[in-house]
């Protein structure tokens, strides 16, 4: 009996050690798996933060990967419409626009709204029906309007995008990249009417039985300091997409996160990091570009003023020069 008891104690110690090792291994593996799962999830997203006036990219991950933009497409739709039609023009809703699938403001054939009202429906409530009505008013047909979209996108510097509809409902041939979408949005932000519309929290459009109350779906407005736009998007193929806009201390940023389930938190994080890291500096206070470090390309307008007049520079210090073109 005594010999049995002596042998039992080491067995219990060994068993405990084995159990501890197994638990430790599982814990380490779980942490490793969680970390890599998070990395894998992030690798599927495209992210960009850009300063609007200079076009300088302050943050980018997967920025050139082709993605489906879903309703963030409507940023380009709005830009093309704003440059093609007067805001006060009355549009009679065609039958083709009534009953479009997906997000809608439930337009009825024969109703009448101004271009401006339909732009509010497009950008605040993501109305696919409003997108079709505007596209037909501006282009006469969806294919013609898509051609207008692609032409304008290329003029914005979008190098790897193709648009086939004005709303972003899925089509394998309808794609963009985070960088292209940032460039398109930065161009749209130069339009004062665009900025006003996408920063509106709520509004009312129409009269009588056509009267509709519209509340903006963009949760950044009112929850993030300086937020002033711009558009959400979602389809099963695109995942959750968000293009945001925010201004602090004279620095206007646009941000893009594509195929990101935590798009709101991700956007706030990349915006916060950019605002904390950069500040705007007058271009004439920067040295001439020496061939090393970052370069800001500046031209002079007809009044002799530099364009852009200011550029974002790292607060911690950065070798950045100016080249006049």
Residues 67, 74, 231, 268: which is the catalytic one?
Answer: 74
Residues 53, 54, 126, 238: which is the catalytic one?
Answer: 126
Beta-strand relationship, 239-248 and 251-258: antiparallel
Half-sphere exposure (Cβ direction) of 201: Cα atoms closer than 13 Å: 6
Residues 45, 53, 54, 71: which is the catalytic one?
Answer: 71
The angle subtended at Cα 138 by Cα 157 and Cα 113, nearest 5°, is 125
Q: Comparing C-alpha atoms, which of 244, 241, 263 is closest to residue 252?
A: 244
- Residue 268 CA to residue 12 CA, distance in Å, equals 53
71 counts as catalytic? yes
Contact 121, 217 (CB under 8 A): no
199 counts as catalytic? no
Contact 232, 218 (CB under 8 A): yes
Q: Comparing C-alpha atoms, which of 272, 266, 256 is closest to residue 75?
A: 256
Sheet holding 294-300, edge to edge: 306-307, 294-300, 320-324
Active site residues: 71, 74, 126
């Amino acid at each position: 009996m005594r010999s049995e008891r002596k042998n039992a104690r080491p067995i219990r110690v060994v068993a405990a050690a084995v159990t501890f090792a197994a638990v430790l291994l599982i814990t380490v593996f779980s942490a490793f798996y969680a970390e890599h799962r998070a990395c894998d999830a992030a690798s599927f997203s495209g992210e960009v933060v850009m300063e609007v006036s200079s076009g300088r990219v302050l943050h980018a991950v997967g920025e050139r990967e082709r993605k489906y933009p879903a309703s963030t497409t409507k940023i380009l739709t709005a830009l093309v419409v704003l440059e093609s039609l007067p805001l006060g023009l009355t549009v009679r809703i065609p039958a083709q626009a009534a009953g479009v699938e997906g997000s809608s403001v439930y337009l009825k054939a024969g109703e009448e709204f101004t271009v401006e009202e339909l732009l509010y429906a497009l950008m605040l409530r993501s109305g696919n029906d409003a997108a079709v009505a505007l596209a037909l008013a501006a282009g006469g047909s969806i294919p013609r309007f898509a051609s207008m979209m692609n032409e304008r996108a290329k003029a914005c510097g979008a190098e790897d995008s193709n648009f086939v509809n004005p709303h972003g409902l899925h089509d394998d041939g309808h794609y963009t990249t985070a960088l292209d979408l940032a460039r398109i949005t930065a161009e749209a932000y130069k339009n004062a009417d665009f900025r006003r519309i996408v920063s509106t929290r709520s509004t009312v459009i129409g009269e009588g039985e056509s009267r509709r109350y519209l509340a903006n779906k963009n949760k950044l407005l009112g929850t993030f300091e300086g937020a002033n736009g711009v558009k959400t998007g979602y389809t099963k193929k695109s995942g959750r997409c968000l293009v945001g806009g925010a201004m602090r201390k004279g620095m206007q940023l646009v941000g893009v996160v594509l195929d990101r389930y935590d798009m709101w938190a991700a956007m706030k994080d990349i915006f916060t990091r950019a605002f904390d890291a950069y500040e705007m500096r007058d271009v004439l206070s920067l040295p001439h570009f020496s061939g090393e470090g970052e370069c800001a390309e500046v031209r002079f307008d007809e009044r002799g003023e530099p364009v852009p007049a200011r550029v974002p520079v790292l607060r911690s210090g950065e070798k950045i020069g100016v080249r006049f073109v």
